[in-house]
């Protein structure tokens, strides 16, 4: 980067003037609340974890029911 | 060379700031004390490096907005909060130069020039002052940055390192090299 100008003895702004230009309300209103990515949120993993567990349980129960249904007719055949 | 006490951070001050940061992470309104403490320092850092006062105030606001938005990422690792703010300020400042919102300017006081002339073991004449002023314009941006932080603002090498992302030792070596380069240009004039 090129340094365009070098200035000597520029008048110094007073601390009072700089303080008078503070605008904290503007800073707060312009900023959204700190947002955490949904993928990093513990709530996301909680919800995902619970739904995965429920799905796994349902599949497992369903699997048992299907295998039970398949087993009975076979037994019937064996008995004959 | 003395270090400006304005930039010195005590442990008590850092602990107090950590409490404010923890609260501000929950509620942005609690960022107020940090904003009031550092607004002037950050503004002066920016205004020192550009000409336009209004743009300097705008860039200062940008720095605090960015800091507040990214506060959840801030983790204390022994580096004062002010150094984190200065890093954001440096990045926003150079973004303003890239966007052509501002022109890079170096603002120096006469007494600061005489202090450098003293470092060169030369006499404090007006001729040397003029010679040094002209020599400064031949310096590259990186060297000028180091001279501004060390010799004009009198920051410690540790703080220079924290702002420029260098080790304390590296900041020391690079600052003296920048001064040597300036001396070389000065002597060749």
Q: What is the pTM of this model?
A: 0.76
* CB count in 10 Å sphere of residue B69: 17
CATH of the domain at B44: 1.10.1740.10
In a shared domain, residues B84 and B133: no
The answer as to whether B131 is a domain residue is yes
* CB count in 10 Å sphere of residue B86: 25
The answer as to whether B59 is a domain residue is yes
In a shared domain, residues B92 and B15: yes
Tell me the C-alpha distance between A29 and B168, whole Å. Answer: 38
**Given A4, A8, A32, which is nearest B133 (Cβ)?**
A8
**Given B43, B70, B133, which is nearest A18 (Cβ)?**
B43
Residue B6 per-residue DSSP state: G
pLDDT band at A79 (very low <50, low <70, confident <90, very high): low
In a shared domain, residues B67 and B140: no
Mean pLDDT of chain B: 90
Considering only CB atoms, which chain B residues are within 8 Å of A19? 39-40
CATH of the domain at B158: 1.20.140.160
**pLDDT score at A71:** 63
How far CA B124 is from CA of B114, B115, B127, B138, in Å, comes to 6, 9, 8, 21
Each residue of A14-25: pLDDT tens digit? 999 999 999 999
Could B71 and A34 be called an inter-chain contact, meaning their C-beta atoms sit closer than 8 Å?
yes
The answer as to whether B6 is a domain residue is no
Q: Which of B32, B45, B95 to mutate to test binding with chain A, by most A CBs within 10 Å of its CB?
A: B32
DSSP-derived pairing of the beta strands A5-8 and B105-108:
parallel
pLDDT band at B100 (very low <50, low <70, confident <90, very high): confident
Which residues of chain A approach chain B closer than 8 Å at the C-beta? 1-10, 13, 15, 18-19, 21-24, 26-28, 30-34, 36
Tell me the C-alpha distance between B95 and B99, whole Å. Answer: 6
Could A28 and B31 be called an inter-chain contact, meaning their C-beta atoms sit closer than 8 Å?
yes
**pLDDT score at B7:** 58
In a shared domain, residues B93 and B117: no
The answer as to whether B5 is a domain residue is no
In a shared domain, residues B51 and B75: yes
Tell me the C-alpha distance between B114 and B128, whole Å. Answer: 9
In a shared domain, residues B116 and B47: no
Nearest Cα of chain A lies from the Cα of B15 at a distance, in angstroms, of: 22
The answer as to whether B182 is a domain residue is yes
Considering only CB atoms, which chain A residues are within 8 Å of B102? none
In a shared domain, residues B49 and B127: no
The answer as to whether B2 is a domain residue is no
In a shared domain, residues B88 and B119: no
**Given A6, A19, A24, which is nearest B133 (Cβ)?**
A6
Each residue of B16-48: pLDDT tens digit? 888 999 999 999 999 999 999 999 999 999 999
Count of domains observed in chain B: 2
In a shared domain, residues B80 and B114: no
Domain assignment of residue B141, given as a range: 110-187
- Give the chain B residue whose CA is nearest to the CA of A21: B57
ipTM of the complex: 0.86
Q: Identify the domain boundary among B98, B131, B158.
A: B98
Question: What does the domain layout of chain A look like in residue ranges?
Answer: 39-71
pLDDT band at A70 (very low <50, low <70, confident <90, very high): low
* B95 pLDDT above the threshold of 70: yes
* A40 pLDDT above the threshold of 90: no
- A36 alpha-carbon distance from chain centroid: 6
């Amino acid at each position: 980067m090129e340094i365009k100008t070098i200035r000597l003895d520029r008048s110094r702004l007073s601390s009072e003037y700089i303080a008078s230009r503070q605008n904290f309300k503007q800073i707060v209103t312009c900023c959204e609340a700190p947002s955490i990515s949904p993928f990093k949120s513990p709530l996301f993993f909680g919800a995902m974890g619970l739904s995965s567990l429920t799905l796994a349980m349902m599949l497992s129960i369903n699997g048992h029911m299907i295998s039970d249904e398949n087993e009975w007719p076979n037994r019937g055949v064996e008995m004959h | 060379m003395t270090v400006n006490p304005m930039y010195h951070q005590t442990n008590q001050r850092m602990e107090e700031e950590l409490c404010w940061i923890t609260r501000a992470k929950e509620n942005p309104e609690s960022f107020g004390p940090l904003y009031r403490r550092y607004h002037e320092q950050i503004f002066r850092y920016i205004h020192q490096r550009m000409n336009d006062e209004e743009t300097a105030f705008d860039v200062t606001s940008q720095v605090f907005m960015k800091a507040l938005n990214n506060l959840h990422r801030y983790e204390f690792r022994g580096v004062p909060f002010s150094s984190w703010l200065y890093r954001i300020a440096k990045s926003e400042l150079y973004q303003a130069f890239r966007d052509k919102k501002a022109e890079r300017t170096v603002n120096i006081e006469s007494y600061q020039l005489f202090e450098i002339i003293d470092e060169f073991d030369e006499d404090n004449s007006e001729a040397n002052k003029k010679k040094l002023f002209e020599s400064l314009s031949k310096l590259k941006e990186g060297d000028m940055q180091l001279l501004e932080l060390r010799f004009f603002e009198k920051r410690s090498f540790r703080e220079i390192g924290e702002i420029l992302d260098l080790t304390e030792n590296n900041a020391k070596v690079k600052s003296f090299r920048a001064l040597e380069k300036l001396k070389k240009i000065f002597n060749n004039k």
